[in-house]
Chain A
Amino acid sequence: NAGVTQTPKFQVLKTGQSMTLQCAQDMNHEYMSWYRQDPGMGLRLIHYSVGAGITDQGEVPNGYNVSRSTTEDFPLRLLSAAPSQTSVYFCASSYSAGAKNSPLHFGNGTRLTVT
């Protein structure tokens, strides 16, 4: 099983450029989410989705857009990259956000540098 697949693994952008981080899962999970991980800050939630066609904002949504047209895919779009968005981005999914015994599965991350 592939699990949660993120592409690309590394990306360098210039300030003002836009790009899309891809995330796909093959576990038929309803719930998908995006986190960023920064030194000293831990993991923070950017956006999440409880099913196809439904998205919502997390703790740090500014500068990012998401969509969920299929159960499998949950891309994260950076509209106009800023140096403050330099981070490691993780996509994660679970069977259900509301199930008590539903562990979160993570992808291997995308390391983004904005110059």
Chain B
Amino acid sequence: KQEVTQIPAALSVPEGENLVLNCSFTDSAIYNLQWFRQDPGKGLTSLLLIQSSQREQTSGRLNASLDKSSGRSTLYIAASQPGDSATYLCAISGGGADGLTFGKGTHLIIQP
């Protein structure tokens, strides 16, 4: 069974810093990997989706990488802002309809 781990569970950094969030998974036979953002009391917003054949995806200040052989993905946030404060979740699709396997998230606080 796929297991997804996100480290650290919480992170607090000053505004303007570049930072990296980590996601590791146990089964390299993945279909795609998604990074989501969740604000308090809200649903999840898809930030980036990396297909299994891809190595990275970029959107604005966000860059996500995928290394299937090592079972790792990273989400890089450049020039962090207080508005980036949220919980970030990593999720893996195995290709079936039986849903995504989620990590428990990294709670990120950007200090003004």
Contacts and interface: CB of A to CB of B under 8 A. Distances in A.
Partners in one complex: yes
A98 B97 contact: yes
A90 B36 CA distance: 14
Given A90-B44, A105-B46, A109-B42, A100 B32 contact: yes
Nearest to A39: B104
Residue from A35, A98, A103 with most neighbouring chain B CB atoms (10 Å): A103
5 contacts: A90-B43, A92-B44, A101-B49, A103-B34, A108-B41
Contacts of B89: 43
A56 B99 CA distance: 11
Interface of B: 31-32, 34, 36, 41-46, 49, 51-53, 89, 91, 95-100, 102-105
Contacts of B43: 4, 90, 106-109
Contacts of A31: 97
A97 interface: yes
Contacts of A78: none
Nearest to B39: A108
Contacts, number: 62
Given A97-B97, A106-B36, 16 more contacts: A35-B99, A40-B104, A42-B104, A42-B105, A43-B100, A45-B99, A97-B96, A100-B32, A101-B51, A103-B34, A103-B46, A104-B91, A104-B100, A108-B41, A108-B42, A109-B43
A33 interface: yes
Interface size range on A against B = 20 to 34
Given A103-B34, A106-B44, A43 B102 contact: yes
Contacts of B104: 40, 42
Contacts of A24: none
Contacts of B98: 45, 48, 56, 58-59
A23 to B, nearest CB: 11
Interface in A42-94: 42-43, 45, 48, 50, 56, 58-59, 90, 92
The 4 closest A-B pairs by CB, nearest first: A45-B99, A106-B43, A97-B97, A103-B46
